[in-house]
């Protein structure tokens, strides 16, 4: 964990921390991301570039080695006519090259290449990174005003705490509470950062405003668009009250910036915000997590002393519960969903399954069906439970939750949550389903 005195000490060694970089040339198929994770796991910094990157672009990174990443099903076959100048020339350049197929991805091969052939020494550790980055931010932002949109999610939380370590009270965080968070989440976010970290947080309560904007909207992509746009508008309005700032913090992480070798079709527009705020008066964007994978962000969060519950929290989509209420959204539906979801989460934690399941949540299906409660006919909602295991959310398998746990969850939901008389468990993997229902 870092503190101010260790920062000072670390400043002296900063020159030593120059990155030993390895470049991964992406020939498609998501495979390059798996290799990159493995390389980082072996304590070597790496970046992914598309297979058509020019030799100049590769050389700019000053790499100690290059890995060609090609999945078996990759569209970009390695026929010479399809290899760009950069990747073809890399063979002639005096630098170690590893030509790697999906089947070859073994730690020992990578380790030999990185350490014995490229001469890397394994400087890439999260402790080093945290120290160096906070020092750099301190230097860069001395005496400057910084603004951050805090959602309470892992990425924005780690980014905000990191910048706070560097600039203290010069950072103001705006937390837009759109009312689409899980039960008690808004209060928890406010409390953690205000009380525990003593950060300047402005909580904007705009629950009603979002509900009004979403009234009658059923299409998932329209919901996302409205939420993204409205979020920006609220943020802008609040930022205006603060006035001009020097920096705007964004919690962008590495998978968001990787330029793939081969384009992939859009399935869902996963961007939480509808672009950059036009009317916020800032000079520069700062993205302190731009180089990190999600699990590295979590490791960094621990280094920075952020509570484990927050760091290891399951991913939660920016549009929140809006895409877990199927069809149109009302306050009543949101409340039903919140209660059912809280029961589900509580029982998963009690059963000790929260670490092994990637994401688990309730969905309020738009469907109502007949049931019977205390001898009276009911016509109420069906709650779907979704729980998946995954490594990176690109693919996922449904979690094999023991039947007795499912039974407890189902009984509690139908007994405790009004207007729910049926609970179903989603047993589809991704693909062909997606993790979220919308």
Choice between 43 and 434, CB closer to ligand XMP = 434
Restricted to residues 410-429, the positions that interact with ligand XMP (CB under 6 A) are none
Choice between 66 and 435, CB closer to ligand XMP = 435
Separation CA 323–CA 331 (nearest Å): 14
For position 382 contacting ligand XMP by CB under 6 A, the verdict is no
Query: Which residue bears the tokens 């020992």?
Result: 108
For position 251 contacting ligand XMP by CB under 6 A, the verdict is no
Choice between 301 and 318, CB closer to ligand XMP = 318
Smallest gap from Cβ 354 to ligand XMP, in A, equals 15
For position 268 contacting ligand XMP by CB under 6 A, the verdict is yes
For position 233 contacting ligand XMP by CB under 6 A, the verdict is no
For position 250 contacting ligand XMP by CB under 6 A, the verdict is no
For position 272 contacting ligand XMP by CB under 6 A, the verdict is yes
Binding mask 28-57 for ligand XMP (x = CB under 6 A): ------------------------------
For position 221 contacting ligand XMP by CB under 6 A, the verdict is no
Q: Answer for the pair 211, 179: CB distance below 8 angstroms, yes or no.
A: yes
Give the interface size with ligand XMP as a residue count (CB under 6 A): 15
Restricted to residues 384-403, the positions that interact with ligand XMP (CB under 6 A) are 393
Query: Edge-to-edge, what's the strand order for the sheet holding 45-50?
Result: 45-50, 21-26, 65-70, 97-101
Smallest gap from Cβ 205 to ligand XMP, in A, equals 21
Smallest gap from Cβ 357 to ligand XMP, in A, equals 12
Smallest gap from Cβ 360 to ligand XMP, in A, equals 11
Choice between 261 and 318, CB closer to ligand XMP = 318
Restricted to residues 277-316, the positions that interact with ligand XMP (CB under 6 A) are 315
Choice between 2 and 180, CB closer to ligand XMP = 180
Interacting residues toward ligand XMP by CB under 6 A: 224, 267-268, 270, 272, 315, 317-319, 359, 393, 430, 434-436
């Amino acid at each position: 964990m870092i503190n101010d005195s260790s920062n000072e000490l670390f400043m002296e060694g900063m020159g030593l921390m120059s990155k030993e970089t390895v470049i991964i040339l992406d020939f498609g198929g998501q495979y390059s991301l798996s290799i990159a994770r493995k390389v980082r796991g072996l304590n070597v910094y790496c970046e992914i570039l598309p297979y058509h990157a020019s030799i100049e672009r590769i050389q700019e990174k000053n790499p100690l080695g290059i890995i060609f990443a090609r999945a078996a099903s990759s569209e970009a076959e390695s026929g010479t006519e399809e290899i760009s100048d950069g990747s073809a020339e890399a063979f002639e350049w005096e630098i170690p090259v590893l030509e790697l197929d999906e089947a070859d991805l073994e730690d020992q091969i990578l380790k030999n290449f990185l350490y014995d052939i490229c001469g890397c020494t394994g400087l890439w550790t999260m402790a080093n990174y945290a120290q160096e980055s906070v020092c750099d931010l301190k230097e860069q932002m001395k005496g400057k005003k910084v603004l951050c949109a805090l959602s309470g999610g892992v990425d924005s939380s780690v980014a905000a705490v990191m910048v706070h370590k560097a600039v203290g009270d010069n950072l103001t965080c705006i937390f837009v509470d759109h009312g689409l968070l899980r039960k008690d989440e808004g209060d928890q976010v406010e409390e953690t950062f205000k009380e525990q970290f003593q950060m300047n947080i402005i909580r904007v309560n705009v629950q009603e405003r979002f509900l009004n904007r979403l009234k009658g909207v059923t299409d998932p992509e329209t919901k996302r668009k409205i939420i993204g746009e409205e979020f920006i508008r609220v943020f802008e309005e609040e930022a205006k009250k603060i006035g001009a700032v020097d920096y705007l913090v964004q919690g962008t992480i590495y998978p968001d910036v990787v330029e793939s070798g081969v384009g992939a079709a859009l399935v869902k527009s996963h961007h939480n915000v509808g672009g950059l705020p036009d009317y916020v008066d800032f000079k520069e964007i700062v993205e302190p997590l731009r180089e990190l994978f999600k699990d590295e962000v979590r490791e960094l969060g621990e280094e920075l002393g952020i509570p484990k519950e927050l760091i290891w929290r399951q991913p939660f989509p920016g549009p929140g519960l809006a895409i877990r209420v199927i069809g149109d959204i009302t306050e009543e539906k949101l409340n039903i969903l919140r209660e059912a979801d809280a029961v589900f989460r509580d029982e998963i934690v009690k059963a000790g399954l929260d670490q092994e399941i990637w994401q688990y949540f309730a969905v309020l299906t738009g469907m109502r069906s007949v049931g019977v409660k205390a001898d009276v006919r009911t016509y109420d909602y069906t709650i779907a439970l979704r729980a998946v295991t995954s490594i990176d959310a690109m693919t996922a398998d449904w979690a094999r939750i023991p039947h007795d746990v499912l039974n407890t969850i189902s009984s509690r939901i139908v007994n405790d949550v009004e207007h729910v008389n049926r609970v179903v468990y989603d047993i589809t993997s991704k693909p062909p389903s997606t993790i979220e229902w919308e």
